[in-house]
Structure 1
Amino acid sequence: MNRPNDSARDTDVLAALRTATASRHERLDSGLPLSAPHPTLDDYAAHLCMLRDWLAPLDAWLAGFADGPQGDTALPPTARLALIQADLAEPGMPEVRPMRPAPAWPQDAGAAWRWGVAYVIEGSQLGGAVLYARLAAPLAPHPLRYLRGDEGGPGPRWRAFMLALRARVTSPEEIAEACAGACAAFDAILALAPLEDH
Structure 2
Amino acid sequence: MNRPDNAAHILDPLAALRAATNERHERLDSGLPLAGPAPDLTDYASHLTMVRDWLAPLLPWLDTFQDGPQRVLPPVERLALIEADLNEPGMPPLRAPAAADAWPRDASAAYRWGMCYVIEGSQLGGKVLYGKLAGSLAPHPLRYLKGSDAGPGPRWRAFMLALKEHVTSPDEIADACAGACAAFDSILKLSLDKKG
When residues 197 and 42 of structure 1 are mapped into structure 2, their CA distance, relative to the original with a 3 A threshold, is closer
| One-letter amino acid of the counterpart of residue 113, structure 2 | W
**SS of aligned partner of 2:191:** coil
Summarize deviations over 1:83-115 as a string: whole Å, max 9, x none: 000000000000011001101100000000000
| TM-score normalised by length of structure 2 | 0.93
CA distance in 2, matches of 1:182, 1:153: 23
Matched residue, 1:127: 125
Summarize deviations over 1:30-52 as a string: whole Å, max 9, x none: 00000010000000000000000
CA distance in 1, matches of 2:17, 2:46: 27
Q: Is the 8 A contact 1:55 1:81 kept in 2?
A: yes
Matched residue, 2:45: 45
In the alignment, structure 1 residue 156 sits paired with structure 2 residue 159: no
Matched residue, 1:187: 185
When residues 58 and 33 of structure 1 are mapped into structure 2, their CA distance, relative to the original with a 3 A threshold, is same
**SS of aligned partner of 1:134:** helix
CA distance in 1, matches of 2:97, 2:193: 18
Summarize deviations over 1:54-104 as a string: whole Å, max 9, x none: 001000100100101133xx1000011000000000000000110011011
CA distance in 2, matches of 1:115, 1:38: 34
Matched residue, 1:4: none
In the alignment, structure 1 residue 26 sits paired with structure 2 residue 26: yes
Q: Is the 8 A contact 1:33 1:194 kept in 2?
A: no
RMSD over aligned Cα atoms: 1.5
Q: Is the 8 A contact 1:129 1:147 kept in 2?
A: yes
CA distance in 1, matches of 2:68, 2:91: 37
Summarize deviations over 1:4-35 as a string: whole Å, max 9, x none: xxxx9x82100000000000000000000000
Deviation at 1:164, TM superposition (A): 0.3
Matched residue, 2:169: 171
Matched residue, 1:64: 64
Aligned length: 188
**SS of aligned partner of 1:33:** coil
Matched residue, 1:102: 100
Q: Which has the larger radius of gyration?
A: 1
Matched residue, 1:116: 114
CA distance in 2, matches of 1:174, 1:95: 43
Q: Is the 8 A contact 1:116 1:182 kept in 2?
A: yes
When residues 40 and 197 of structure 1 are mapped into structure 2, their CA distance, relative to the original with a 3 A threshold, is closer
CA distance in 2, matches of 1:109, 1:94: 37
**SS of aligned partner of 2:105:** coil
Give unpaired runs (5+ residues) of structure 2.
1-7
Percent identity between matched residues is: 69
CA distance in 2, matches of 1:134, 1:159: 23
Summarize deviations over 1:111-149 as a string: whole Å, max 9, x none: 000000000000000000000000000000000000000
| One-letter amino acid of the counterpart of residue 57, structure 1 | P
Give unpaired runs (5+ residues) of structure 1.
1-7
